[in-house]
Structure 1
Amino acid sequence: MQLSFLKCHGSGNDFPLIDARALALSDAEWAGTARALADRAGPVGGDGLLLLTAGDGECAFGMRMFNADGSEAETCLNGLRCVARAGFEALGVDRATVRLKTSRAEVARDAELAPGVVTVRTVVGPNSVAAGDVGLKIGAAQVIEAAVPGLPSARAFTAVAMPNPHLVTFVDHVDEAELVALGSWCEAGPALIPARANVSFVEVRGPADLFVRTFERGVGLTDSCGSAMAASVLAAGLTCRVPFDTQVRVFNKGGMVRGQAHADRVVTISGNASFLYDARVEVDVAAARAVVPVIQARRDDEAAAWSAALAALV
């Protein structure tokens, strides 16, 4: 099967993005396509597969996101910004309501993070701090700055659903080996959290600066996870580390976004939606394999603008 795609990234979280509004593949076929195109050892690679899907009476367009292992996520904020931009350009609009797997999102163009960096603002949610919504099988109604019974870590966590599940803990220094060990334990789908969870270690680096490192469900250790950054902003507010209604800079290995959490748990995130190249590729969906893509157009100006923005952050 031949497919056209756009390679894009949000805060270093990179994806092949397919305009699927006129395509009729089954969930199993999309899962196979995701395994083929997002395979880091394959010819494209990515943190997952993004789909721009058709709108309905309430939403201008929709988004689906398949992880690199073929599982489908409830949301992906870094990917949402890229899909939002694709939808804006397809429909000639600057803001929209987007249908997600289990919810909706409000998206709009925003002031540039840096010169030449296309920036999109997303309102994150619906959010929840109910343990059941996070998928935790525990007696407590919620977990905010507390140990999680049964979790192989004595650290204090804050559990939030964005709506995908997140366990956030604040640390003096990120220990990646510890993060990977705990993330891998959650990735196995234990009885404590059978649907798995994203795990983030967060450093507070200033009055309104956070650094986030995440083991992402279905992906592993990633340079960036948009919903984890949003979860970390909310957790910082819930634990009084950063006052609500304060604009926060959230750094990760992929770059930086602007975030803000409010007392009603509404979170907004603004970050880049950078397009890198347009291509076509032959995919064997059943075997989850792809050949080397044919690149049709490169967007070197956007890549250069993002590189300059990263250099300015160092």
Structure 2
Amino acid sequence: MNIPYIKGHGSDNDFIMIDERKLDVELSEEERKELSLLLCDRLEGIGSDGILFILSSEKATACMRMFNSDGTEAEMCGNGLRLVARYVIEESEEEKVDIETQKAVLGVERVEEIFEGVDTFSVAIEPVSFQVGTLPMTWLEQEAIEVEIPALTEGQTFTALSVPNPHIVSVLDEYEEAELERIGEKANHLPDVFPNGVNVSFVKPVRHNEIFVQTYERGVGLTNACGTAMSASSIVSVLVAGNDVETPITVMNKGGMVQCVVHKQGDYRVELRGNATYVYEAEVNVDIETQSFEESPRHVHTKENELYEELRDYAKSQGR
């Protein structure tokens, strides 16, 4: 099976993007899982946090499905959605399109750059819910806002929300990365509390309407960035750290930075604005039965990678 693909990233959350509409064969559910396990492997595969599959849609311009590196499918992926947004926008020659995701049809568009020279795309992150049943999370109350989770840790509070994938977010003055990894691993081995696992983020306020976020991503582990986690963290920063709604909140991480605009009109929703960088393009010839593949020479997007390096260096400096 010969598969053209684009390797790209949103905030250094890297993906293999495959346009299924251009393949000679239709992929099965099992083939999508097997491709994710084979190609995302960072030691023996191409290496990535997941695969973005672009499909046709009867509801929108295109459909996105995202599979993690462990073969599981995510309900939503904000960083990945920006890559799909760029691809579909450039293909359609429109500035704004709709993308079908597992939970909703979402508007995406090209917007003003958040860093000079870095093309920027805005994606809608919704639906947002604080009802623990939407994660799901086993809890005595209907919501879990700024609460201790005894099965997880003591003396630290979390807020649970779905966006629509599940997140718990803790706002801290300082933290150790090793502690985030420990709690993230533990949270994803607590089926009595989080039956489907959960994404765990630590948030450090930097200045008003500026935060630094690091995430343990369900199905992946520690990541440089997670789009829905940055969106969830921006909402929690409004609730807990006094940041503003209807105003861009700069969210920085090891992978770079984005801007999140939290809207509160009845329910919450978030605009996530950030890069959609193409690292390179290539083709891969895959034999799923033998779990092997051969890759063609790569066409590298050197200039846009260099520009993103400048953005990443700036964002890292703000998190120290």
Provide closer, same or farther for how the CA distance between residues 16 and 262 of structure 1 changes in structure 2, counting only shifts above 3 A.
Answer: same
C-alpha displacement at 1:244, in angstroms? 1.9
Establish whether residue 39 from structure 1 lines up as the match of residue 41 from structure 2. Answer: yes
Contact 2:99 2:108 in 1 (8 A): yes
Contact 1:277 1:295 in 2 (8 A): no
Structure-1-length-normalised TM-score: 0.95
Contact 1:168 1:235 in 2 (8 A): yes
Correspondence list, 1:136-175, <5 A: 136-175=137-176
Give the aligned length. Answer: 312
Establish whether residue 8 from structure 1 lines up as the match of residue 8 from structure 2. Answer: yes
Deviates more, 1:66-75 or 1:295-304: 295-304
C-alpha displacement at 1:102, in angstroms? 2.0
Matched residue of 2:70: which SS?
coil
Q: Give the distance between the partners of 1:238 and 1:311, measured in 2 at CA.
A: 29
Corresponding residue for residue 21 of structure 1? 21
CA RMSD of superposed structures (Å): 1.5
Corresponding residue for residue 89 of structure 1? 90
Q: Give the distance between the partners of 1:134 and 1:118, measured in 2 at CA.
A: 33
Establish whether residue 272 from structure 1 lines up as the match of residue 275 from structure 2. Answer: yes
Matched residue of 2:284: which SS?
strand
Provide closer, same or farther for how the CA distance between residues 254 and 287 of structure 1 changes in structure 2, counting only shifts above 3 A.
Answer: farther
Q: Give the distance between the partners of 1:283 and 1:34, measured in 2 at CA.
A: 12
Deviates more, 1:217-226 or 1:43-52: 43-52
Larger relative contact order, structure 1 or 2 (CA cutoff 8 Å, min sep 6): 1
Question: What is the percent sequence identity of the aligned residues?
Answer: 36
Q: Give the distance between the partners of 1:154 and 1:53, measured in 2 at CA.
A: 45
Match of residue 309, structure 2, among 286, 290, 307: 307
Correspondence list, 1:137-286, <5 A: 137-264=138-265, 265-286=268-289
Instruction: State the Cα deviation string for residues 193-230 of structure 1 (Å, max 9, x = none).
Output: 11000000110011111110100000001111010000
Contact 1:35 1:289 in 2 (8 A): no
Q: Give the distance between the partners of 2:135 and 2:289, measured in 1 at CA.
A: 33
Gaps of 5+ in 2: none
Matched residue of 1:241: which SS?
coil
Instruction: State the Cα deviation string for residues 5-64 of structure 1 (Å, max 9, x = none).
Output: 0010101111110011244111110011011111111241011111111121x3111101
Q: Give the distance between the partners of 2:122 and 2:199, measured in 1 at CA.
A: 22
